[in-house]
Amino acid sequence: MFAIIKTGGKQYKVTANEIIKVEKLAGASGDAIEFTDILMMGQGDSVKVGAPFVTSARVCGTIVDQIRDDKVIIFKKKRRHNYRRKNGHRQYLSVVRITDILGEGDSPKEKATSFKETAPRETSEKKVLSKGEAKPAKARVATAVVEEAKPAMPPKAAAAKVKKSSEE
């Protein structure tokens, strides 16, 4: 049995016990997850196409790991204009193992949490500063610089200066 699911703005063709990399999903490693946006599912010659989704169909899976993809280099250049910009990007991904593809009347093997595309993302615990509030100061490490004692003038120049002033 196979299904075509939609998650993270992309479509994936999945089968049972398959491991796929999708856009980051909320959850930790080992959490069960359920995809309800099923575009098409089929087994053998029978295929069920959704309009836009197949009703009462679910795909259950488990989050294996939260990873980051390989770095993609973005390089822009305009010749003869001294314009060069280089940026890099690493996308956050979730590695998901598909456990079940459930049609009408099927029961899941594991209890899974439902996942919708409109589910709010978890917010980080960063403090939002108001307009007049200052950022907290970073801890600074004091470094002592010890300089060796250097003579004000080289010895020959100092002697010449003394000799010149004594002649006057």
pLDDT at residue 153, as a whole number: 62
pLDDT at residue 120, as a whole number: 47
Residues of the chain with pLDDT under 70: 105, 107-132, 134-155, 157-158, 161-168
pLDDT at residue 43, as a whole number: 87
Does residue 62 contact residue 99 with C-beta atoms inside 8 Å? Answer: yes
pLDDT at residue 142, as a whole number: 55
Written as six digits, the tokens of 31 are 């959490």
Listed in sequence order, the residues at least 6 apart from 84 whose beta carbon sits closer than 8 Å to its beta carbon are: 75, 76, 77
pLDDT at residue 154, as a whole number: 67
Listed in sequence order, the residues at least 6 apart from 58 whose beta carbon sits closer than 8 Å to its beta carbon are: 34, 35, 36, 38, 100, 101, 102, 108, 112
pTM of the model: 0.59
- pLDDT tens for 124-163 read 455 666 666 766 666 555 555 555 555 556 667 667 766 6
Give the span between the Cα atoms of 37 and 3, in whole angstroms: 10
